[in-house]
Amino acid sequence: MFNIPADVNQLVENAGNPEAGLAPKGSVQSRTDFGKTGYGGACPPKGDKPHRYHFTVYALNTDKLPLDADAPGAMVGFYINNHKLAQASITMVYGR
């Protein structure tokens, strides 16, 4: 998700589900590795060791990236890295 307005300080539960309509106004959810928009969730194979999931928030020197929902992750990453001022990350561990 990108182009989240600067005054947003939290995402509500299920904000990553485009069908729920809960993402902040003006934000964009681009195409993921699943081939569609929206957060697919953590889903490690049953019985596998827990997987690590990294979530990163970036502060940019621009209000908006000139991309739409069809932009691939690599393109979004390219623009983020060209406009990045700062970042913060958290790593979560999940297994089934």
Through-space distance between the first and last CA atoms of the chain, rounded to whole angstroms? 26
* pLDDT value of position 77: 96
* Number of independent structural domains in the chain: 1
Residue pair 52/91 in contact by the 8 Å Cβ criterion:
yes
In a domain, 8, yes or no: no
DSSP 20: G
- Identify the domain containing residue 86 by its residue range: 18-94
Bigger pLDDT: 78 or 36?
A: 78
Mean pLDDT of the chain: 93
In a domain, 9, yes or no: no
The token pair that represents 7 in the structure block: 């005054």
- The phi and psi torsions of 37 (rounded to 5 degrees) equal -85, 160
- Per residue in 3-41, pLDDT (tens digit) is 999 999 999 999 999 999 999 999 999 988 878 888 888
User: Among candidates 87, 76, 7, which has minimal Cα distance to 37?
Assistant: 76
